[in-house]
Amino acid sequence: MSKFIEQQQWRYATKKFDATKKIEEADLEILKEAIRLSTSSYGLQPYKVFIIENPEIREQLKPVSWNQSQITEASHLIVFANYINLDETVIDKYIKRVSKIREIDEENLKGYSDFMKAKILGLTPEEQAIWTSKQTYLALGNLINASAELQIDVTPMEGFEAEQYNTILNLSALNLNASLVATVGYRHEEDQTQHAKKVRKSKEELFITI
């Protein structure tokens, strides 16, 4: 069995974290880099990632997260916030970044820039918000896989009130919306969920080869 598959067998959505165990800074930097290097459509990364360490803010967020204990017990709380309204400046900034890093004249990237603007800016605000929200899930996947390699637990969460997160974290003023949440840390020995067998569809049920 490959090491990657073993790591996926090991991981699960942790229900109870050990609040006494904190992620070391070096490991946290690896997780941040995994998120940063995640794939995204066009490479735009139309989101921000908030790493919430402040215990007072986390206490405020717990009631609007269905009072799930992971919000305050995990080593870190990560909030993925998608942009809700993109404009030309976002694409222009990205093109400048491509030009600088790849040493390509911006004029030679104009066709790509115009293509992105036509496709993305042609979406309605609602369609843009849905699209940018989907991008955060790609970043979450990288976080989950990198954490499993380090034997750090992650619980992805959709069970929270996004509007309340937006208010508490002042996201709306930043043109952002709380898309999803992940608690990161180390499982508590009392968390019985870790002993449950993983339940997934069989290969025969899941895959269709055409």
- As a whole number, mean pLDDT of residues 25-33 equals 98
H/E stretch holding 61 reads: helix 55-61
pLDDT of residue 1 exceeding 90, the answer is: no
Burial 62-99 (b: 16+ CB within 10 A, else e): bebbeebebbbbbbbbbbbbbbbebeeebbeebbeeee
Q: What is the pLDDT of residues 59-80, one digit of tens each?
A: 999 999 999 999 999 999 999 9
Domain residue ranges in the chain: 3-84+131-206, 87-120
Residue length, the chain?
210
Mean pLDDT (the chain) is 97
pLDDT of 129-148, one tens digit each?
Answer: 999 999 999 999 999 999 99
Q: Is the pLDDT of residue 198 over 80?
A: yes
Return the structure tokens found at 158. 């959709």
Helix (H, G, I), strand (E, B) or coil at 35: helix
The amino acid that residue 159 corresponds to is G
pLDDT tier, 2 (very low <50, low <70, confident <90, very high otherwise): very high
Write down the architecture of domain 3-84+131-206 according to CATH. Answer: 3-Layer(aba) Sandwich (3.40)
